[in-house]
Chain A
Amino acid sequence: MSLLDVKNLSVEFRTAHGNFRAVDNVSLTVEKSEVLAIVGESGSGKSVAMLAVMGLLPWTATITADVMAVDGKDMLNMSPKARRNVIGKDIAMIFQEPMTSLNPCFTVGFQLGEALQAHLKLNRREKKERIINLLEQVGIPAPEKRLSSFPHQLSGGMNQRVMIAMAIACQPKLLIADEPTTALDVTIQAQIIDLLLKLQQDTGMALVLITHDMGVVAETAQRVSVQYAGQRIEMQSVKGLFSEPHHPYTQALLSALPERAVGKKLASIPGVVPGQFDRPDGCLFSPRCAYATPRCRTESPVTANADVGFALCHYPLKEGNPEGHPGKEEAVA
C-alpha cells in the first residue's frame, strides 16, 4: 500500500470570472522512504495539489478525487477534527518563504513547543529536551540559546531549519516541501537540501519535493512527476526523465536549460502557459508544441502507459521522436 495515494484529483476555484481549474485529474503515488519531485512552472498546479491533500485550501476551492489517501486513511471525506490528527503528525509540510512562515510574535521555542503540544503528550521538561534535540538534528548551533530567539533575529537559512524542525517534530511519515530553497542563497540552499536528504535517510520518511529547479530535481529525486497547466503530463524515474523524456513539454523544458544551450541562443518554448482566460481545446500544450497536429488541437490526449512515462500525449516521444506521428506536413497543417 502506498504511503500517499492520489487518483484523479481535481481542484476548482470559484472566481469572479467563473470557475478556474487549477488541478485537472492529477494522480500520483508516493511509497515509504521515497523521494518524489513534482516539477512544473507557474500555473502548473503543483502547490495547489499538495495543499489540497493537506486540506489547506480556501473555501472557494472545490476538491474532487477518486482516491486521496495517506497511509490508507481517506483524506477526502475526513472530518476536520480527524484531519487535524493526521496533519502535522503523519504528514507535514514546509513552505517557500521562511521569513513569513514563522509567526513573528513568538519565539522559536514557543512555536516548536506548539507543534509538539498539538500531537504528543509530553511534560515541560520532556518537551524542552525534545525541542533542543530537534534543533540539533536540523543543524542549528547552540540550540539552548536559540529557544528564546524570535524569527527576525535569525537568517533565512536558520528560519528554514526551524520550519523543518517543526515539521519533523512528530516524526511524520511523509514530508512535503514546497519550494523550500527558492528564497535562499545558493550556498544555504545546498545546506538545506543536504539536510532534507539526511533527515530522509535517517528517519526513513518519504519526501515530496515541489520545485521548478531542474538541478535540484536531478540531485535529490528518485522519481519525478511533471505538471503543466494543472495536469500531470509525465511521471518516471529521474534518470529516465533526463536521458529520455517522453512528453514534448519535458523535452522542451530540458532543452531550455542554460546548461544544454548550443551556441548563444537558448532553445526556448514560444508562447506562455495557458491561464484562466485562454485554455485551448484539445491538448493544453498544443499551442506551444513543435509536434502539434490538428488532432492535438481538438482532441484531449489520454495518459499513456508506464513504458512511456505515463505521458499525456497523443504521440509520446520514444528516443526523442514522437511515436505514431503523421509527419511534419500534417503537423504544420
Chain B
Amino acid sequence: MNNETVLTATDLARHYPIAAGAFKPKLSLKALAGASFTLQRGKTLAVVGESGCGKSTLARLVTMIEPATSGSLVIGEEDIATASLKALAHLRPKVQIVFQDPYSSLNPRQRVGAALEEPLLVNTDLNASERRARAQEMMSNVGLRPEHFDRYPHMFSGGQRQRIAIARALMLEPDILVLDEPVSALDLSIQAQVLNLLTELQERMNLAYLFISHDLSVVRHIADNVMVMYLGRPVEQGPAAEVFANPSHPYTQALLSATPVADPNHISERVVLKGELPSPMDPPSGCPFNPRCPKGFEKCYADRPILQNISDNVAVACHLFD
C-alpha cells in the first residue's frame, strides 16, 4: 500500500462578504484562514473542533463545492484553489463526501439503486446493465443486501443509510473521501460497525480520509494525523498519537479534558473553559482564544500567534511557545 500524497493545501482561506447595511462598508466573515495540510493515501487526517471552527468550510473547499478566497489547494497535479467550478468538473471523481445526517443526505424520492447509479450515469458511459452490476457490487461491499436495490431511503435504518451514503461516495473510485461527522448521528453499536467498515474500505481501496469530528474518542481511534481548529484557524497540528499524548495548546488540553471518559474510576482534572464560543463575525483581538484561555497573558490580547513547529511533527499556534 503506497502512501503517496494526493492533496496539498497551503494557507487556505475562505472569506464571506457580509452586507452590514446599505451605507456601511462590507464586513468580511473569515470562516477559514491559514489552513495547511496534506492528505496521503491510506491515511486519515482528522479535523477536530467545535461550532464555528471552520471545519465545515474546509470540507466544502476540499470537495470543490466552493472556491477558496486565497491559498493553494493542489489535488493530483493541479492547483484548484481559486479556479472556477466549471474547470473542476473533471476532478470531481477524485474527491467525494459523506455527510453527517443519514436522514437528509439521501434523496427521499430516489430509489437506492438509482442513487448509486447516478454518479456513473453522469460521469461515465457505461450502459444500464453495467451500471447496475457495479451498484450491486458496491452494495455488498458495504454490507447491504443487493435485493434492497429498489428500496427507498426511508425504509432503512440510520446505520444502513450511512452505508448507502458511503457506497454512493465510492462509486466513482475517488482518491480522497471527506467524512463530515459520519458517525455522530449513529448509536454506539452502529457507530462501531460503520467505523470498522470505513477502516476496511480504506485499506482495500487505499483511500485518503479527511475525517471531521468533534468526538475525540472516535478521532483517537481512527486518526493518523490530527488538526485542531478554533475560530477558523488551526491551533495545533501533528500525528494523532503525539498530540493526544502531549497536548500543547491550551484549547487542545481543554478539549481533551472536557471529553467524558467512559471509566468511573478516572478522576478528571477538568479544565472547564469559561465563556462561550465566540462568533466568527466578531473575533477577539490578538489570539482568538484569549477570552477563554486559562493561561493567557498580555501578549495574547495584542498579537495573533502564528503556527510554528515545536517539534519535528507537531505545530502549535500559541504565544507560550514563542
Contacts and interface: CB of A to CB of B under 8 A. Distances in A.
Given A42-B158, A185-B277, A218 B260 contact: yes
Given A185-B50, A187-B50, A266-B221, A256 B191 contact: yes
Contacts of B157: 272, 275
A186 B268 contact: no
A215 B187 CA distance: 14
A181 to B, nearest CB: 9
Nearest to B190: A272
A186 B214 contact: yes
B221 A256 contact: no
Nearest to B157: A272
A188 interface: yes
A238 interface: yes
A122 interface: no
Interface in B153-199: 157-160, 187-193, 195-196, 199
Interface string A171-204: 0000000000000011111110110000000000
Interface stretch (B73-81, B114-122, B251-259, B295-303): B251-259
A239 B263 CA distance: 8
Contacts of A158: 276
A218 B258 contact: no
A191 B214 CA distance: 16
A190 B272 contact: yes
B84 interface: no
A219 interface: yes
Interface string A192-236: 011000000000000000001111111100000000000000000
B268 A219 contact: yes
Contacts of B24: none
A267 B192 contact: yes
B195 A266 contact: yes
B277 A155 contact: yes
B261 A218 contact: yes
Given A253-B188, A265-B196, A272-B157, A185 B214 contact: yes
A266 to B, nearest CB: 4
A238 B264 CA distance: 7
A186 B221 CA distance: 18
Given A215-B259, A218-B266, 9 more contacts: A42-B158, A186-B258, A187-B258, A213-B260, A215-B217, A238-B264, A258-B222, A272-B157, A273-B187
Nearest to A242: B264
- Chain A, interface size category, equals 35 or more
B265 interface: yes
A115 interface: no
B201 interface: no
A216 B215 CA distance: 13
Contacts of A272: 157, 159-160, 190
Among A42, A190, A264, find the residue whose CB has the most chain B CB atoms closer than 10 A. Answer: A190
B187 to A, nearest CB: 4
Contact of A217 (B193, B222, B262, B272): B262
Contact of A212 (B188, B196, B260, B263): B188
Given A212-B188, A242-B263, A256-B188, A194 B272 contact: yes
Contacts of A270: 193
A261 interface: yes
6 nearest A-B residue pairs (beta carbon): A215-B260, A268-B192, A41-B187, A185-B50, A190-B258, A258-B221
Interface in B200-235: 214, 216-218, 220-222
B148 interface: no
